[in-house]
Amino acid sequence: MVGNGRTPSVKDVAAAAGVSLGTVSNVMNRPEVVSPATRERVERAMTELGFVRNESARQLRAGTSRTLAYVMLDGSNPFFHDVAQGIELAAEEADLSLFICTSNGRADREAVHLDRLMQQRVQGVLITPVNPDAPHLAEISRRGIPVVIVDRVAAGGAFCSVAVDDVLGGRIAVEHLAEQGHTRVAVVGGPESLGQVRERLEGARQIWAELGLPAEDLSYLPTAALSVAEGRSAGERLAGIPARRRPTAAFCANDLLALGLLQQSIGAGLRVPEDLAIVGFDDIEFAAAAAVPLSSVRQPRQELGRAAAQLVLEEAAGGRHQHQQLSFVPELVARASTVLRPKVF
């Protein structure tokens, strides 16, 4: 409440309340040990001076911060924001702050962020990495900072990780299309360097074979990225195929692709799902909000983030910790883009 020069410190509060530094600290951290009378006096002094605890000093002494960090892969994909939301919820429960950074797919930005996070001595790092095997991840972990990989699986179990079973996801997507009677299906996605793309494709092929359908009727349409624009471009290529040979359904590795494909197809005069059925992956909010609501393989997005945060906290708490790879089960949400009269809206 005072407008003077510097921001007051514990020392100032102590002086104002007529007690020692230690007592002020006790009021903040162990209120039960200080007598009600002095506690009250100190608290009054604090509000009068407008005291705000200096977190750096706290942290310096304590050796550890009260923040978690999440390094996002792609800021333009709402999926990651939902994951972040889940993390934030868990962080809030543990009374921690969450630092959010974005690498936007660039390994160098990711490295810069990780370096800064180490300097801040964050309690733990959650990350959807550009490359799960990059050395700077191992480095940060070796320093004793818990690292949890989100939406990717760490090779060799070097870290904890939380992800969805992508192979299974691919299976249920294509199984659903087959159930709808489709016998020529395109899988859209890329680049193949992404483990997820490979696994979703793999799942699609597995079930296709198990259903006894001819391999050549499951085509693969590669894309350069998992974005709306790439979805549109895939749509153009699809539209270029003569109708008699064109796939009647597409499974996109991600909802952004699916939305792009949907838009382009409708623009080109195709009816969805009659001429082309589309199923996406992730089930972001905009999937349900599309003009033709999009069927999608649902990932428990918030749950993914929450679980990851819990793992990192568990590891940070110390004690015997065993790295574990959590795998969630995806489920298909059927909407109008694959079913004419869907049960679920």
Contact between 11 and its own copies (CB under 8 A)?
A: no
Contact between 33 and its own copies (CB under 8 A)?
A: no
What is the Cα–Cα distance from 158 to 107, expressed in whole angstroms?
Answer: 19
Q: Which residues have a Cβ under 8 Å from the Cβ of 265 and sit 6 or more positions away? A: 235, 238, 239, 272, 275, 276, 278
What is the Cα–Cα distance from 142 to 114, expressed in whole angstroms?
Answer: 13
Minimum Å gap between C-beta 41 and DNA is 8
Site string for its own copies, 322-341 (x = CB under 8 A): --------------------
Minimum Å gap between C-beta 324 and its own copies is 23
Minimum Å gap between C-beta 309 and DNA is 23
Q: What is the radius of gyration, based on Cα positions, of the chain? A: 26
Q: Which of 212, 214, 223, 288 lies closest to 250 in space, CA to CA? A: 223
What is the Cα–Cα distance from 253 to 197, expressed in whole angstroms?
Answer: 6
Contact between 26 and DNA (CB under 7 A)?
A: yes
Stretch that binds its own copies, among 137-145, 157-165, 193-201, 244-252 (CB under 8 A): 137-145
Minimum Å gap between C-beta 299 and DNA is 40
Site string for its own copies, 43-72 (x = CB under 8 A): -------x-xxxxxx-xx----x-------
Contact between 10 and DNA (CB under 7 A)?
A: yes
Contact between 241 and its own copies (CB under 8 A)?
A: no
Contact between 236 and its own copies (CB under 8 A)?
A: no
Report the SS3 class of residue 248.
coil
Q: Which residues have a Cβ under 8 Å from the Cβ of 241 and sit 6 or more positions away? A: 247
128 and 149 Cβ atoms separated by less than 8 Å? yes
Query: What's the first-to-final CA gap in the chain, in angstroms?
Result: 55
Specify burial of residue 51 (Cβ count, 10 A radius: 0-12, 13-18, 19+): buried
Tokens of 155: 């090779």
* Residue 50 one-letter amino acid: G
How many H helices and E strands in the chain?
13, 12
* Residue 321 one-letter amino acid: H
Instruction: Pick between residue 88 and residue 199 the one whose CB is nearest to its own copies.
Output: 88
Instruction: Pick between residue 142 and residue 244 the one whose CB is nearest to DNA.
Output: 142
CB atoms under 10 Å from CB of 322, counted, come to 8
DSSP state of 320: S
Contact between 28 and DNA (CB under 7 A)?
A: yes
Size, binding site for its own copies by CB under 8 A = 47
DSSP state of 295: E
Report the SS3 class of residue 130.
coil
Site string for its own copies, 260-299 (x = CB under 8 A): x-xx--x------------------xx--xxxxx------
Minimum Å gap between C-beta 63 and its own copies is 9
Stretch that binds its own copies, among 13-21, 114-122, 152-160, 240-248 (CB under 8 A): 114-122
Contact between 105 and its own copies (CB under 8 A)?
A: no
Stretch that binds DNA, among 31-39, 156-164, 244-252, 313-321 (CB under 7 A): 31-39
Interface with its own copies (CB under 8 A): 3, 7, 50, 52-57, 59-60, 65, 75-76, 78, 81, 84-85, 88, 97-102, 115-116, 118-121, 142-144, 228, 259-260, 262-263, 266, 285-286, 289-293
Interface with DNA (CB under 7 A): 6, 9-11, 18-26, 28-29, 33-35, 37-39, 51-54, 57-58, 60-63
